[in-house]
Amino acid sequence: MAAPLPKTPTAGPLAGTVVVDLTRALAGPHAAMMLGDLGARVIKVEAPGSGDDTRGWGPPFVDPGERAGGGPGTAGAREATYFLSCNRNKESITLDLKSEDGREVLTRLVERSDVQAVEALAVVAEAAVAWELTRVALDKLGGDALEDTVAAHRAYLARIADRWQPR
């Protein structure tokens, strides 16, 4: 079994819980934020380069330098207040899930986390990543129902990927 991720010292009923947040829009980030509000350590996974798409959902926008209390930030570095409002109490990392290294890091994060927050349609383009994430999470559960759950989820992902896969 992989070594647990370090726990951040927080207060609340979920203190000591580690959440991997792969959500991108609306309900998912809000739900993961609420887990952070309750004391969980939430690690948000974003795409390299632009990060989460909602960073650009605006107006309104805020300059990160101004938000931190300093002077103006880098030109074009502004962030949408929507993104900031739904992603408080989170740590953020970037992973290229199209690379073997990125998938390996994600697998290790999932193995060491307690909760995985995923929006199915957000990861359909990377259905293999969604499947691996699910497989690792289900392996943590064990039990006789694991094989049936895995088979059902594989069929579900295949149906969704067929319907939503970019052409």
Half-sphere exposure of 95 (CA within 13 A, CB side): 21
pLDDT at 39: 94
| Domain parsing of the chain, residue ranges | 18-52+87-164, 56-81
Q: What is the pLDDT of residues 25-67, one digit of tens each?
A: 778 889 999 999 999 999 999 888 878 888 888 888 888 665 5
pLDDT at 20: 92
The angle formed by the CA atoms of residues 97, 111 and 122, to the nearest 5 degrees, is 35
| Spatial CA neighbour of 26 closest among 117, 113, 128, 98 | 117
127 alpha carbon, distance to own chain's centre? 15
Q: Does domain 18-52+87-164 have CATH number 3.40.50.10540?
A: yes
Q: What is the reported pTM?
A: 0.66
pLDDT at 51: 80
